[in-house]
Structure 1
Amino acid sequence: MVLPSLLALSGVHYCNKYPADPAVKEMAWSHLAQALRALKYAVTRLVAGTDDDMALPLLVTTLMLSVVETCRGDTEGNYKHHSRAARPLLASVLASGLYDRQDSTIDFVMELYTYVTCITDLTVEASPLGAIYPETESNFGPMISSRSPGMLLGCAYELFHAVPLISDLCVRQRNARLGKTQVDPGECHGFEKAYSALHLKISTWEPPSDAISDFANAGRVYQEALLAFLEMSATDAPDSEVIKDRTDVAMVLLSNIPQHAPIGVTLYWPLSLFASITDNTQYRQTIRKRFQQTYDDLGIGNILTIIDFLDRLWDNQTDTTLRNTSPVQSTSLQSLTRKQGTDISFL
């Protein structure tokens, strides 16, 4: 089932670049159907306890299906269902003892899981996926390697430690406010304490001294985006000037990351967040141009869906609404896309 999922990804990618070839499209969907059928039977065997060795192939296939939907340019939120399905599979892999930290292939699978689930956490308004036990940061550590910078997390793996905790805090705060005219003071103090600890953890992060400049700058972009996300999500009155300053810093960092730097293809979420909150036309066009060039080079479908989302968002935003509301309409990119009738991937 892993091989058919990889072949499906290759076929979908090829269809994006050469859409006029119906034979390739038919072959791509045929491989996808094979992967789904194999997935169904493997899940049955795993649940029945007759084949514990299936946990790792199931995890890889499930993650690849999320990437397939991303590459296809999914507009219905299918990618996140695969992301959610990966969580119990990861638990099975960790429990099985198959996870060897010295195996670079397994290490990459864990990095892919971390990237997919963390970006999904940051995109949707739901309980976090990234950690098996969101309230305990230590459970997130085994999923991320610090032995060398990866092509997805770069050198910012420590920042990704915080993502499930950020998501969990935001969800708990939102749930506490629902149906309440007044939040309990003790509960409010707990939120403030958690917020301060997370803010300190993120703001004091430094890239490793030996980090490649592209990786360090990309990590800094994520740092500014996570701080902006936390400040806008977990406070009732975010400081618009602070958010603006974070956007300014991120754009300077972006200017120092070459267009074709490999780590640049992992910046869709932070750049989309900044693009959705800024009214700076130059910043908007810089991000849009970068996304368009990346699509021209790689042909990944979700880049076009992101560009379309931003174009429509900017058309609907006015200087008046940006001034009279908070710097953003919502920190949830998913809620913004749903207002347009879509649900897209920012992986």
Structure 2
Amino acid sequence: MQAIAAPNVALIKYWGKGDQKTNSPASGSISFTLSAETLWAKTKVLSRDVSKGTIGPTMEINGTTVAVKDSLVRLLDGFSQCAHLTGASASSGSSALRLVEEFSRDISIVSQTNIPIASGIASSAAGAAALALALNEYYRTNFDRKILSCLARLYSGSGARSVYPGAVEMVCDANAHSLLRWHAVPLSVHPSFHSLECLILLLSSAPKPLSSTEAMNRCADHPSQKARLVRIPARLDRCRSALQRGCFNDLAEVCEEDWKCMHSVVQEAAEVTYITEDGRAFSDWVTTQRRTAGLQAFCTYDAGPNCIVFGFPDDLSRIRKSQPRFQYLACKISW
């Protein structure tokens, strides 16, 4: 069986790791999950005959065999640990733990994605969610979405949010086991926001100059990153409130404030610039149009050069007509 997941775009960014062992974030975050009709990762897990070959998992992405990374080992460990912690029963009535041990790790993971990899459009988030869903089907562990969110996080920190549709928040349950502490939850949104759509300004499909993980590691102990983390709880409150009240301008202002702060930290602490001059000029134009001409749209950037715009359909059409020289990809939000 094939599992499918879509990327999510953070409104309040996940930037900074907490516990490395569980790949937990240093703070909460809020995102929109996009529709898998446009951008997707599809993954299936197959049994592998190891009698004549190397034991352990293999992984293939878009037809190319890739090296098994620590993140995959961490995820597979997580399935066994979650079976221990939850005492989950598989849908067949057998012990989930027995099934995990029985199938072991002699598996082939086959993934396909139409998302440019490592270009700042959350390909790893979609891949992590699809992989967690596929392993849940393969092992017949029947884990719920909360646990699957924790498991996806083990592979990719932002992947935890792609397990859910719509608006999603990453939260911490301080009383839970460390493996299950950080997980995503769906957020309620004002009905007027269900008309929001996404427009991606495609400035580059090339891999970014520095991976998100490496850039986060460089930022970890920098004073600007520590100062940023102090401000995140207030931004989360503002973002959550704007989503629930349906106040677009409040949402736009806090989201723009957050991505600009994050990229300022990256430039100062990691000494890398993800955003191009064209991208910066475009996002400045959108902000000016919103503040002076009533455009109901705002921009955000993850760790990459491609600009993501959220707005209402007529406003996104207005952007395309006013800025025709750029290449755009229109996406729905998975309400």
Give the TM interval when normalised to the shorter protein.
0.3 to 0.5
Structure showing greater relative contact order (alpha-carbon pairs closer than 8 Å, 6 or more residues apart): 2
Structure with greater strand percent: 2
Structure with greater helix percent: 1
Normalising to structure 2: TM-score of the pair?
0.36
Normalising to structure 1: TM-score of the pair?
0.35
